[in-house]
Amino acid sequence: MIRNIIAIAKNTFRETMRDRILLSGLVVILAIILFTLFIGSISIDQTTRIITDFGVTAIYTLQIFVAIFIGSMLMYKEIERKTLYLIFPKPITKTELVIGKCIGLLATTCMVTIICTLFLFVLLAIKGGAVFFFPIIVSMFLSSLEVLILILISLFFSSFISPILAAVATITLYLVGHSSDIFRYIFKTIESPSIEYILRGLYYFLPNLEKFNIRNEIVYSTVPSLPLLISTTIYACVYALFLLYITHLVIQKKDL
């Protein structure tokens, strides 16, 4: 099982890393990070904070792009272009394939994240902003957990709907996942107990992606406590296992 998963992951990593769309995205983000030097230079004594703020946001945008758009295309391309016809008659299960695809794409995201973060660190080091290194690493770790959930959501949708619809559905869940504050506000204002009950159910069922967002805090060089980081990691792992399970159920029933 592990051998098959690693083989698929390695293959997915190679395939996606050579994808021209990803390489173009990587170049654009590196250019944006370089551009933060200029934006930082026109601020008053806030150069390193501006570079950190813009740089981290740019890297996060690339991570989300990879998770949603490349993730949505991944399974659909396999099914529609019938690449799976070459894989499934071999001694491999559909679940091993999904896990391998997920790990491969996560590895791709981590690789582009590492490249961009190292580039950002070089700029920060030049400008004397080494104090932001650790908060940025923590932020990248948390956003990678968010990416794991988004990859699994896009893999889940793309296993039974077209990539465009899968991307739209994933973006919708992404936006809902970042709206936990709105949910909490609605709970306080809503009068109907039954609607509140339904909304509370949705609140706990849908992914709470705001848990992974510390981008506002890191410009003040603050990071969450270790217990909070551990509980957030456990939340991401449990949610990822749940998504993996429902994707497994869908793909098992799929007739190629």
Phi, psi of 129 (to 5 degrees): -110, 35
In this chain, which of 81, 181, 216, 226 binds another protein, going by CB under 8 A? Answer: 81
Distance CA 59, CA 140 (A): 9
By CB under 8 A, tell whether 79 contacts another protein: no
Q: Quick check: 119 and 113 in contact, CB under 8 A?
A: no
Instruction: Name the segment binding another protein (CB under 8 A); options: 3-11, 27-35, 61-69, 214-222.
Output: 3-11
Q: Which of 6-14, 63-71, 117-125, 147-155 is the region at the interface with another protein (rule: CB under 8 A)?
A: 6-14
Question: From the list 24, 43, 57, 83, which residue makes contact with another protein (rule: CB under 8 A)?
Answer: 83
- Binding-site residue total for another protein (CB under 8 A)? 25
* Among candidate residues 227, 4, 202, the one with its CA nearest the CA of residue 98: 4
CA distance 241 to 254: 20
11 binds another protein (CB under 8 A): yes
Give me the amino acid identity at 186. I
Interface stretch with another protein, choices 82-90, 111-119, 125-133, 187-195 (CB under 8 A): 82-90
Q: Which is nearer to another protein, 9 or 152 (CB)?
A: 9
Residue-wise DSSP of 178-208: T-HHHHHHHHHH---HHHHHHHHHHHHHS--
Residues that bind another protein (CB under 8 A): 3-4, 7-8, 10-11, 14-15, 18-19, 81-93, 255-256
